[in-house]
């Protein structure tokens, strides 16, 4: 290798950490966001009631076709 090639390689190695740090900063800037960037939808969302499976209201809600989350069912273990 000639001296010019070695000098060029040494310069490249010195620049890489700076470029890497700059790339990390750019990535951090792109990852940051705020609530204003989120889309807003006009959908009415109601909270789904969580009821114990033995609660008498569960049968009433089923009869009225109201969504419920039933707890203590042992469906998932």
pLDDT tens-digit series, residues 28-56? 666 677 888 888 888 888 889 999 999 99
β-sheet bridge partners, residue 50: 69
**Between these two residues, 1 and 74, which has the higher pLDDT value?**
74
The predicted model scores a pTM of 0.40
Domain ranges (residues) in the chain: 1-31, 46-77
Q: Which backbone phi and psi does 50 adopt, to 5 degrees?
A: -105, 115
What percentage of the chain has pLDDT greater than the value 70?
A: 57
Q: How many CB atoms are closer than 10 A to CB 49?
A: 14
């Amino acid at each position: 290798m000639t001296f010019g090639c070695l000098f060029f390689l040494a310069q490249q190695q010195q620049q890489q950490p700076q470029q890497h740090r700059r790339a990390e900063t750019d990535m951090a800037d792109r990852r940051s966001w705020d609530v204003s960037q989120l889309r807003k939808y006009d959908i009415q969302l109601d909270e789904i009631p969580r009821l114990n499976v033995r609660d008498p209201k569960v049968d009433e809600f089923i009869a009225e076709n109201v969504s419920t989350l039933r707890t203590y069912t042992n469906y998932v273990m």
